[in-house]
Amino acid sequence: MGGMEKEGEEGECEMRYNVPQGEEFEINTIILDLNGTLSVNGKIPAGAKERIRKLQRLGFRVILFSGDQRGTAGKICSNLGIELRLTPTGREKEREMLKLDFKKCASIGNARIDLGTFKHAKLSIITLQAEGIHARAIEHADIIVPSINDALDLFLNPDSLCATLRE
Ligand SMILES: [Mg+2]
């Protein structure tokens, strides 16, 4: 049975997934990339903000790792109420990732710069949106979805996530 449960004190919640015929694991942090992932051609798709709010209410920590190509990352993060780590290169993304409990992190991205987080994340998700994906990112992906909202929905509907991961 797939499922998700909250545990522990507020702010220390852990989301546990039991994949049928697969493993049990926990995700408590979602790392987002900005361009081509959270934003498409500079715009945040409708519905993404509400989904992020719901995830935060469930106890997920949401952090944006961005090279800030358009200089808008700070404003976007304060608007969405999420943390920002300025990471101009894939190596910087990797360095920031390794400061976290990365075995409980999911990374959502699309580009070559995201290899830094995809290499270590428990779960790597690619969003196949208008800005495209880097071919090498596919090697590290566990799941590929059409949009950022679909990616966030996997954590709001744990049965869908488990259904995609089960053997
Ligand atoms: Mg990107």
152, part of any domain: no
Q: How far is the CA of 37 from the centre of ligand 1 (A)?
A: 5
Kindly report, residue by residue over 8-47, the tens digit of the pLDDT: 444 445 688 989 888 899 999 999 999 999 999 999 999 9
Q: How far is the CA of 18 from the centre of ligand 1 (A)?
A: 30
2, part of any domain: no
40, part of any domain: yes
45, part of any domain: yes
Q: How far is the CA of 67 from the centre of ligand 1 (A)?
A: 9
163, part of any domain: no
Put residue 147 in one of left, alpha, beta given phi > 0 → left and psi -120 to 50 → alpha: beta
153, part of any domain: no
> How many structural domains comprise the chain?
1
22, part of any domain: yes
Q: How far is the CA of 165 from the centre of ligand 1 (A)?
A: 24
Owning domain of residue 29: 15-147
Q: Could you tell me the CATH number of the domain that includes residue 99?
A: 3.40.50.1000
Torsion of CA 60, 61, 62, 68, to 10 degrees: -170
Q: State the distance between the two ends of the chain, measured CA to CA, in whole angstroms.
A: 13
Q: How far is the CA of 46 from the centre of ligand 1 (A)?
A: 18
Can you give the pLDDT at residue 7?
A: 45
| Strand bridging mode 105-109 / 29-32 | parallel
* Cα dihedral across residues 104, 37, 51, 141: positive or negative: negative
pLDDT < 50 positions in the chain = 1-12
Can you give the pLDDT at residue 6?
A: 45
Can you give the pLDDT at residue 14?
A: 60
| Ion ligand 1: protein residues whose beta carbon lies under 5 Å | 33, 35-37, 110-111
61, part of any domain: yes
pTM, two decimals, is 0.90
User: Alpha-carbon distance 28 to 156, whole Å?
Assistant: 13
Q: How far is the CA of 33 from the centre of ligand 1 (A)?
A: 5
